[in-house]
């Protein structure tokens, strides 16, 4: 049992990627037994050999049926599919089911339809790494990072407290909010930036077809602005497809802001351009000072 | 005299900011005398006290009249103004005049109208630092970095060779191109990214007015995508105002790329979305492998 009071007799983690493997490492001392569920034999073997999990299987039913806590750490569309199709009937009564998918509305809606007696809550830890996969697992991945919790119709007060104590055991910072609000927030700070980064790289690549100098001269500014375009496409298009409405809304709002800057630029209204850039610059600097890496200083 | 064969009896640097101060440090061994011209008494005193320059003045005529090489390292609109108004009449015949402003068409056009006998060439070193000002001066700032040279009507073959040998003395990598092409390239890799970063922060800030969670949850992706929005506004609006046409063109091209992604997103055409993101992701990864920090590996 950890200092947070969190414990599990049998923890099951579905999906042993970076996130799932890191959860297993971070909760190693709080769980009597950890079972990992993953379709990849190589991943299962690695996780067993390194002691990341005690048992490993590719069978969802077998993996979760004895668990008192199940964490779904699979891609976001797979999580929703598991919730809709099968997993409710595999679980023991009173099991706590938590997911860590990057969008929450779809998943929390699906959780609401689980059998009565299953406790379920949506989660989204705001953390990650450049490298992915079980080999990148890191027990400190969640430390000091925000961990969003979204209540569902299947979240009892006791289930909520258990999820909070697990987050404490991870060393993460819990932030509770409705699923819809979560999805609007991540559309702004994560999904819109990804689309902008990709459209920027596509624009530069078009120019690069006829002038290699764009690639030669691109430096630190382009490096930062293009990094997100290098993210895993399957993961990102999965995430985007479960947050279409919020992302489309943010794109419309973004176009307004960009058009305002463009109008001042084209009309050579330098004074208003500088004036309107000022609060933006200050907002960025204030955020960076308050929340470096997303955690309040 | 340095290994490159570059030397100057009297080097004048106009503008002792990060870029000018670093030039002075890097060319210390190649120049018999260095004079710095700067309007700030504190900057001049600092540069003299640290031995960055041998002489310092706020008088442009006095500073440049004995020089055989003059480097203009002032803000880009000031450089154009100096070229149009006064500097040609202050210089000795056969002086080489080089600028390091961030846009080149305006400046190279102004150089074309200098008196015959003055040799002039446009330059743009692709380097920088988070910190600015003479106190951040760094003799290694130009090492290994691309240094663009743009010919003008006042660039003789001998002037070009002298500029190239100076770039070699800095340890930088010369890249020669027409001013117009340079401005199109930096519009794509630098000025468009700045506007996108600013419009993104403005969009998030609007949302942050009613929901502080956007600031709480913003993390590494937003940090990278918002960094440019924190740049100096005077410097950036100066740069943008001298490159309006190229920037407006790139904005139009960017909108096309963003609209293509948006259409696939809204229509839930996940397969085409993933397919169209693929070459973009590959272009970014290929660039990063070939040119980390803008210099070919």
Tens of pLDDT, residues A210-231:
999 999 999 899 999 999 999 9
Same structural domain, B89 and B146: yes
Is A213 a domain residue? Answer: yes
Instruction: Summarize pLDDT for A175-195 with one digit per residue, the tens.
Output: 999 999 999 999 999 999 999
**A263 in B contact zone (CB under 8 Å):** no
Is B277 a domain residue? Answer: no
CB contact under 8 A, A205 and B285: no
CA dist list (Å): A270 to A273, B104, B106, B192, B193: 5, 19, 17, 16, 18
User: What is the domain-level CATH number for residue A197?
Assistant: 1.10.3660.10
Same structural domain, A137 and A196: no
pLDDT, residue B290, reads 86
Report whether pLDDT(A292) > 80.
Answer: no
**A200 in B contact zone (CB under 8 Å):** yes
ipTM: 0.93
Taking CB atoms and an 8 Å cutoff, what residues of chain A touch B258?
A: 195-196, 199, 251
Same structural domain, B202 and B153: no
| Closest partner CB to B280 (pick from A198, A253, A293) | A198
> What distance in Å separates residue A237's CA from the closest CA in chain B?
6
Q: Using pLDDT thresholds of 50, 70 and 90, give the confidence band for residue A129.
A: confident
Is A170 a domain residue? Answer: yes
Same structural domain, A35 and A83: yes
Q: If we measure between CA atoms, which residue out of B146, B247, B262, B186 comes closest to residue A255?
A: B262
Domain final residue pick, A176, A210, A243: A176
Q: Which distant-in-sequence residues (6+ apart) come within 8 Å of B52 by Cβ?
A: B16, B21, B24, B25, B34, B36, B46, B134, B137
Taking CB atoms and an 8 Å cutoff, what residues of chain B touch A220?
A: 128, 293-294
pLDDT, residue B213, reads 95
> What distance in Å separates residue A152's CA from the closest CA in chain B?
19
Same structural domain, A24 and A87: yes
Same structural domain, A165 and A249: no
Report whether pLDDT(A173) > 50.
Answer: yes
Same structural domain, B54 and B100: yes
- Cα angle B176-B177-B178, degrees, rounded to a multiple of 5: 145
Domain count, chain B: 2
Instruction: Summarize pLDDT for A53-101 with one digit per residue, the tens.
Output: 999 999 999 999 999 999 999 999 999 999 998 899 999 999 999 999 9
Which structural domain range is residue B30 located in? Answer: 8-177
Same structural domain, A156 and A209: no
Contact indicator for A39, A63 with CB cutoff of 8 Å: no
pLDDT, residue A282, reads 97
Is A285 a domain residue? Answer: no
pLDDT, residue A295, reads 55
Same structural domain, B212 and B78: no
Is B58 a domain residue? Answer: yes
Taking CB atoms and an 8 Å cutoff, what residues of chain A touch B287?
A: 215, 218, 226
B186 vs B84: CA distance, rounded Å: 24
Report whether pLDDT(A127) > 70.
Answer: yes
Domain final residue pick, B177, B199, B229: B177
Same structural domain, A172 and A189: no
Same structural domain, A249 and A112: no
User: What is the domain-level CATH number for residue A71?
Assistant: 3.40.50.720
Is A112 a domain residue? Answer: yes
Report whether pLDDT(B2) > 60.
Answer: no
Is A278 a domain residue? Answer: no
Is A284 a domain residue? Answer: no
Domain final residue pick, B144, B177, B210: B177
Strand partners, B36: B13, B56
Same structural domain, B172 and B185: no
């Amino acid at each position: 049992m950890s200092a947070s009071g969190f414990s599990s007799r049998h923890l099951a983690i579905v999906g042993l990627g970076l996130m799932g493997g890191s959860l297993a490492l971070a909760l190693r001392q709080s769980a009597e037994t950890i079972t990992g569920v993953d379709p990849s034999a190589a991943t299962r073997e690695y996780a067993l050999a390194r002691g990341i999990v005690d048992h490993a299987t590719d069978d969802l039913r077998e993996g979760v049926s004895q668990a008192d806590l199940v964490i779904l750490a699979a891609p976001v569309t797979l999580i929703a599919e598991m919730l809709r199709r099968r997993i409710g009937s595999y679980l023991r009564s009173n099991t706590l089911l938590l997911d860590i998918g990057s969008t929450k509305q779809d998943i929390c809606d699906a959780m609401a339809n689980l059998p009565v007696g299953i406790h379920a809550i949506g989660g989204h830890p705001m953390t990650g790494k450049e490298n992915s996969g079980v080999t990148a697992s890191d027990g400190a991945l969640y430390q000091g990072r925000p961990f969003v919790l979204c209540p569902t119709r299947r979240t009892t007060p006791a289930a909520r407290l258990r999820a909070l104590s697990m987050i404490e055991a991870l060393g993460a910072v819990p932030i509770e909010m409705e699923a819809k609000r979560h999805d609007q927030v991540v559309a702004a700070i994560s999904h819109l930036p990804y689309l902008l980064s990709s459209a920027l790289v596509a624009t530069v690549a078009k120019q690069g077809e006829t002038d290699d100098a764009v690639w030669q001269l691109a430096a630190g500014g382009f490096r930062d602005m293009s990094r997100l375009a290098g993210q895993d496409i399957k993961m990102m298009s999965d995430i985007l497809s479960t947050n279409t409405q919020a992302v489309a809304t943010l794109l419309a709002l973004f176009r307004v802001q960009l058009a305002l800057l463009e109008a001042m630029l084209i009309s050579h209204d330098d004074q208003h351009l500088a004036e309107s850039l000022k609060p933006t610059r200050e907002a960025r600097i204030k955020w960076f000072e308050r929340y470096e890496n997303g955690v309040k200083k």
